[in-house]
Structure 1
Amino acid sequence: MKTSLILTLIGPDRPGLVSAVSACAGAHGANWMESRLARLAGQFAGVVRLEVDAAAADGLERGLLGLGEEGLKLAVVRTDVAAAAQPHLARLELVGHDRPGIVRDISAVLARHGVSIDALETACESASMSGEPLFRARAELAVPAGVVLAAVRSDLEALANELMVDLEFEEMADSAG
């Protein structure tokens, strides 16, 4: 039987951090299933899902936590339950002048509709003409069965008008259901 270990990690960025984590995983027979890794303000941060035989999970977890000696702060969570397939996937893209609270406001609308954020990427960058800070966000969303996409879209568009941002919301073509 296989077990998934989800680990979060953060530490000062330097060459070899991914190599250290993947070497530990390989030494315990784990398979690197998926990850989100980034350098943020000089720190290396990430979330990784490893899959390993249940009998090897304890050793893998101890090995991963031992990487703390290399300056990584790690947390490990195990799960034996396969993730439930989501009936609908949607994508949200947003761009507008940066200001505090954009993520808070958008995520509140999504939560009110029971929509989960599967992946979120955000960035601030200078506008090409004015140089003013622009906020960009791209999210992949899991929409539960029974949620009316038109209602979610309507609430998001109303908020986009209030925030004065451009927003696109669409169902992804490869949605199940």
Structure 2
Amino acid sequence: MQSLVISIMGKDKPGLVDALAKCVYKHQGNWQGSSFAHMAGMFTGFVEVHVADEQKQPLIDALDAITDLSVQAVAVSNGEPTNTTKLTVDVMGNDKTGIVQELTSVLNQFNLNILTFTSHCESAPNWGSLIFKAKAEIAVPENFDDGALQDALEALANDLVVDITAKR
């Protein structure tokens, strides 16, 4: 079995995920997991599929033939599981230009791997401005000092609220 990670992007319309799922099914692929999102009129996401070696290229060719959808498939090897701890980092504060760069820079300074990252802005009616919210799942080595990470993130701005919890 070959593991493929398939990324897709296209103008949002009904049936995009169904077209992808039918294509995977037709080539005896086993849908392992996926994440999709709608943003600014576009639909994007990725899927991990296990497929027999002899079906890999036919599946990739069939995916490339889906109209109105940009598709990229990358074969990946099944790596060894790592013994890292996962933490969830929730951040909330006033929105400002560069906030994502500042957050990711701190994570990089601690040499941490971002596994998932989501963010959005929402209206803060009482303040008349936008509130930035982000959630990241990060891999950290055993015995990692999450207090030092929290201090470094909170030092970015006096209004930044940071909550770090162990992922179970």
Q: Normalization by structure 2: what TM-score?
A: 0.91
What is the one-letter code of the residue matched to 2:68? G
Does structure 1 retain, via aligned residues, the 8 Å contact 2:154–2:160? no
Question: Which residue in the other structure is 1:102 paired with?
Answer: 99
How many residues in Structure 1 have an aligned counterpart in Structure 2?
168
1:136 aligns with 2:133: yes
Residue 158 of structure 1 and its aligned partner are, at CA, apart by: 2.2
Structure that is richer in helix per residue:
1
RMSD of Structure 2 on Structure 1 (CA): 1.6
What is the one-letter code of the residue matched to 2:28? G
Task: State the distance in 2 between where 1:3 and 1:146 align.
Answer: 35
Question: Which residue in the other structure is 1:80 paired with?
Answer: 77
Residue 123 of structure 1 and its aligned partner are, at CA, apart by: 0.8
Residue 116 of structure 1 and its aligned partner are, at CA, apart by: 1.1
Structure 1 unaligned spans of 5+:
none
Residue 121 of structure 1 and its aligned partner are, at CA, apart by: 1.1
Partner secondary structure for residue 24 of structure 1: helix
Q: 1:71 to 1:83 in 2, by over 3 A?
A: farther
Residue 160 of structure 1 and its aligned partner are, at CA, apart by: 4.4
Structure 2 unaligned spans of 5+:
none
Question: Which residue in the other structure is 2:163 paired with?
Answer: 168
- 88, 91, 100: which is aligned to 1:91? 88
Partner secondary structure for residue 156 of structure 1: helix
Give the % identical residues. Answer: 31
Task: State the distance in 1 between where 2:61 and 2:35 align.
Answer: 22
Residue 170 of structure 1 and its aligned partner are, at CA, apart by: 2.3
What is the one-letter code of the residue matched to 1:71? D
Q: Normalization by structure 1: what TM-score?
A: 0.87
